[in-house]
Chain A
Amino acid sequence: MALLSVHDLHVYLGESHVLQGITFDVREGGVTAILGRNGVGKTTTLRALMGLVDRRGTIEFGGTDIRQVPTHKIVRLGVGYVPEDRDVFAALTVDENLRLAERGAETRYDLVYDLFPELRDRGKQAAGTLSGGQQQMLAIGRALLNDNRVLLVDEPTKGLSPLLVTEVAVALERVSELTTVLLVEQNLGLVQRVAHDAVVLDTGRVVHAGPAKELLENKPMVHRMLGVG
């Protein structure tokens, strides 16, 4: 059974019909990647799932329709979110950013510091003064702090050096052993490494959904759908 089911999801941003009735499932465990060229609605899909934009259609999470549920309650159902631009709170310290993300008594600081030891060392540093890679670690760490059932991760490697991309990939692999991940990513190398399933979007519609390996090994298909390879 799918952990997350999206059916006929529509989103309008101003005059633009960004998501035009997308339908896909995310199975429990592992990583499902959302792929597609720039501007096809990948980020909007995650924002719609989080309730951060107005949307129409059905979104079922663990069998519950969450379309009418406000964002903070969606999160409390066990949905973690790592946004595209990290959105760490620049004026707050690393410790304060993490503390803000705490929900309930049981937090997983051990896991966060195990994956990203730098966050412990830089606890008193203002998040706005961290490098891009460190901010990404903080954004992921913040989402990992609670025992979420699914993590929505939006382009975690955007703007990172190859070394940091590897570090993020290792973290995602580790995370995917603990929880389900819905990953938006342009880096196909990373997708190949971590994803089990893939959903491909094109101009606001799902044009392919299935095992990631099957898609990525089919070079003509990758070229046609993603414009690479």
Chain B
Amino acid sequence: MSTFLLLTITGLGLGAMYFLIASGLSLIYGLMGVLNFAHGVFITVTGYTLWFTESKLGGVPVLPRFLIAALVGLIVGTVFAALVELVLIRPLYGRHIEQVLVTVGVALAVTALVTAIWGSDARVVAAPAWVGDTTTIFGAHIPNDRWLEIGTAAVVLFALEAFLRRTRYGLIVRAGVENRSMVTALGIDVRRSFTLVFAIGGLAAGIAAVLYTLYSTTVDPQQGTSLVIFAFIVVVIGGLGSIRGTAWAAVIVGLVQQYANYYASSGLGDLSVVLLLGIVLIARPSGLSRSFA
């Protein structure tokens, strides 16, 4: 029982991380039709900014040091995401092949740049002690960072839903996901929403970067790329442009990965997720979002 509970909570933690990354990807594709392969570097930029800032704050106690560094990382990551849209993506709207090439190019270039400056070895980040401890529930020793991941993802989900349902920009985004040209035909400059959605995607990915840093206590140049692969799978399973679908798909993928790794064989978790993707694509090519609506 305690093992199952541990696997479930850690699986939910993993799903929370995937949701944070995938929600931005999903909105970006849903609204703009942009497959953003540069999404992983939003994580890298936030993570390295966090590490760099923290390394310059020697003498400050760990908790405030981490919080300040995380805040700086989130701001830089969000601005970076907005700039990618404004400078590189905007001139290429409607040119999908060029957009894919540019986002792949950004992903490769930023990863190479980070490696060239700071090397390929992981850099250690000092995390607050509580995060590394465990909380015992029904005999299961749950790492504290998982509670943080689940709680943060729930808050982000709630905030995104509130943004989409209660603000005019949210209304524009929801309508734009359905029919972008009709939104324009109502007199709305939909491109402003594009930048906003990129910034929101960058912020959510940045939050995932902060949480991942708490979990691994390191940053490395490849971590963004490896995390974003599963986020893409989550987006496809959840249904492009659907935040609720993305949330459910992230939970399913996180749990399947954890259960398969433990109950089947270590390493089968990744394979089982790919199998799940295949089944969903065959049975419901548009993703699961309608099932959750």
Contact = CB atoms under 8 A, between A and B. Distances in A.
Contacts of A52: 181, 184-185
Contacts of B188: 72, 100
Interface residues of B, number: 17
A96 B179 CA distance: 14
A142 B186 contact: yes
Given A89-B178, A90-B178, A91-B178, A71 B171 contact: no
A74 B66 CA distance: 50
A50 interface: yes
A72 B185 CA distance: 6
B183 A100 contact: yes
Given A72-B190, A100-B172, A87 B179 contact: yes
Contact of B187 (A76, A90, A96): A76
Nearest to B241: A91
Interface in B162-208: 168, 171-172, 174-175, 178-179, 181-190
Given A50-B185, A72-B189, A100-B172, 13 more contacts: A52-B181, A71-B181, A71-B184, A72-B186, A87-B179, A89-B178, A89-B182, A90-B178, A92-B171, A96-B174, A100-B188, A103-B186, A142-B186
Contacts of B179: 87, 89
Interface of B: 168, 171-172, 174-175, 178-179, 181-190
Contacts of A96: 171, 174
A83 B185 CA distance: 9
Contacts of B190: 72
A73 B183 CA distance: 12
A100 B171 contact: yes
A72 B187 contact: yes
Contacts of A71: 181, 184-185
A99 interface: yes
Nearest to A76: B187
Contacts of B183: 100
- Residue of B168, B171, B185, B190 most packed against chain A (CB within 10 A): B185
B189 to A, nearest CB: 5
A142 B186 CA distance: 8
A75 B187 contact: yes
Nearest to B175: A89
Contacts of A92: 171, 174-175, 178
Interface string A114-150: 0000000000000000000000000000100010000
A89 B185 CA distance: 13
A87 to B, nearest CB: 4
